[in-house]
């Protein structure tokens, strides 16, 4: 097994922390690689030994968070998968509120929003597909329902960490279930000609 150089680990951590601080201050689009390296106190050329772009650095940070969440979700064996994933999602985000606030507080950080929507969509799809496989022909197309859940969930998370982070993750998971999941499932089940 290849041993990771502590200097590499430290440098990458410093670059990620600098990126997050700068995203909070300026927004992702306004920062440069030079800004990141100066904030991290790392040589400009060193950045390119580890990353090809600031987008690659951001992607690594996001993927680390996603991997952590998916490992939590994999360990759990829920009776109600959608509800359990909501609890896990809000517990995960609640344990890293400062980090998520940095990543999501500025709407200029569209790569983060897009990637998180992809993850939420991929976790939602298996729960919605059975409603469409039963030949019921819901009025709302599957892709619209999935996108709605992903976008609504992300907006709920952004509101929570920005406006009332003292609400417990369990309460937020219940709000998520009632407001996002149950409402969407009721809409899918609704039959009306258009």
Give the N- to C-terminal CA distance of the chain in Å, as an integer: 61
Would you state the pLDDT for residue 11?
94
pLDDT at site 45: 95
Q: Which residues of the chain have pLDDT under 70?
A: 1-4, 73-83, 106-108, 134-136, 191-194
Separation CA 84–CA 123 (nearest Å): 12
Would you kindly state where each structural domain of the chain is located, as residue ranges?
A: 58-189
Q: For position 82, what pLDDT does the model report? A: 65
Residues whose CB is less than 8 angstroms from the CB of residue 179 and which lie 6 or more positions away in sequence, other chains included: 152, 156
58-189: what fold?
A: Tetracycline Repressor; domain 2 (1.10.357)
pLDDT score recorded for residue 80: 57
pLDDT reported for residue 1: 44
Q: Which residues of 123-156 are buried (b: 16+ CB within 10 A; e: fewer)?
A: bbeebbeebeeeeeebebeeeebbebbbebbbeb
pLDDT of amino acid 47? 95
φ/ψ of residue 139, rounded to 5:
-65, -35
Q: What is the pLDDT of residues 30-40, one digit of tens each?
A: 899 999 999 99
Q: How many whole angstroms separate alpha carbon 190 and alpha carbon 4?
A: 55
């Amino acid at each position: 097994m290849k041993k990771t150089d502590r200097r590499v680990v430290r440098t990458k951590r410093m670059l990620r922390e600098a990126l997050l601080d700068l995203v909070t201050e300026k927004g992702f689009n306004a920062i440069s690689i030079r800004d990141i390296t100066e904030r991290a106190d790392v040589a400009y050329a060193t950045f390119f030994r580890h990353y090809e772009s600031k987008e690659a650095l951001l992607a690594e940070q996001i993927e680390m968070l996603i991997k952590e969440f998916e490992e939590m979700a994999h360990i759990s064996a829920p009776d109600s998968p959608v509800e359990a994933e909501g609890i896990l999602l809000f517990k995960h985000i609640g344990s890293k509120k400062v980090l998520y606030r940095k990543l999501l507080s500025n709407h200029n950080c569209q790569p983060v929003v897009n990637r998180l929507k992809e993850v939420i969509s991929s976790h939602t799809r298996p729960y919605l597909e059975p409603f469409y496989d039963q030949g019921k022909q819901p009025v709302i197309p599957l892709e619209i329902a999935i996108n709605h859940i992903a976008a609504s969930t992300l907006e709920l998370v952004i509101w929570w960490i920005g406006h009332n982070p003292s609400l417990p993750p369990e309460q937020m998971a219940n709000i998520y279930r009632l407001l996002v999941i149950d409402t969407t499932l009721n809409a899918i089940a609704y039959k009306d000609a258009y």
